[in-house]
Structures are given as structure tokens and as C-alpha cells.
Amino acid sequence: MLTKTTFYYVRHGETDWNREKRIQGQLDIPLNALGMEQAEAASRLIRDLNIAAVCTSPLSRARETAKRFQTALGCSLHVIEDLREATFGTYDGEIRGAWYEEWKAGRFIPKGAETYPDFIQRALAAINRALAHPGPVLIVAHGMLYRAIKEHARLDEKFTLLNCQVVRHTPPQMAGESWQAVAIR
């Protein structure tokens, strides 16, 4: 279960592999020039949000994005190892194809990859570790990792998180309701 507290989530800035639609997995692909610009623009956007802590994946594309946010906010930065992206093993670096849906459905697991359920469990535990910090917390991580939030917060499956898009998540007020996810502009 997702810890019921208001928090923010940002997918790291763009990389060259994002532009090429390549699965980065746990390969440490750096931000490109646009990704650095996106992080700077988003850091100006979040300055007045009263965020108390920034938690990030150890991968450089997320960590570099998070450092810009930490500087803008003047708050603590925490690297959480399990906020790293899913690993697709031998398919890291591949273009997403039919194999990806087969992986999510549990019918195909590339050599060296984690299973989809194991990934979601790891991601949710890491998100909850981040949310244990005094908040509101800003989590800076990856697009796939956001799937754990979408599943456990019952968010719209069709919502695609863009690079450096800041999203505020508010827990439901009553049992049976979904979380609210609002993009900050």
C-alpha cells in the first residue's frame, strides 16, 4: 500500500535515449542538453512548494535532476538505491516493442531482468521509504518506477509522465476513492 501523504514526483530530464525511445533500464545514461534545461525550468517551478526533502534514484539522470531541485529548495537530498529504474537485463538499451507488454504480463523475462511483480514491489517499498522523510517529499526517479504509483494510487493507466513534469499526489479523503494527481505548471 502507498503511504497516504501528499508528495510530488518528477521523472528525470531527457536523455538521448529518451529521444531515441530506447529502454534505459539501469544503464547510467546522462541527461542531454535539453534534459538539463528541463531540470532548470522545473527547479524554478517548484521553489515555492514548501518541499522539505528530495529523494532520488542513484542513476545520474535522476540524481543530476534532483541536485538542481535541492539547490532551488535548499532542503536535504536523499539517494535511495531502490528508486532506480527497472532492469530489463539483456534488453536494456532496446527499443520498446511487443516484448515489453509480454514482460509486464509475466510471459517473457529477458535474461538478467527482474520480473514485473518484483519490480513493482521493490519500487513501492522504495517510494514508501522516501515518503517516511519529513514532507512534503519530492521523489525524482524514472518513468517505469511511476507505474508503481499509478497502480497503487489507482491513477489513470493512460497518463504518461513526461520528462521533468512535476506532479502533486494527494491521498484520498474517503475509503474507495482514488488519489488525485495534478501536474504543476
85 is an active site residue = yes
How far apart are alpha carbons 4 and 174 in whole angstroms? 12
Residue 102 neighbours by CB under 8 Å, 6+ apart: 108
Options 12, 133, 142, 169, the catalytic residue: 12
How far apart are alpha carbons 56 and 52 in whole angstroms? 14
Burial of 62 (0-12, 13-18, 19+ CB in 10 A): buried
Hunting for cell 536535504 — which residue is that?
76
Options 14, 64, 85, 114, the catalytic residue: 85
Please give the positions annotated as active site.
Answer: 12, 85
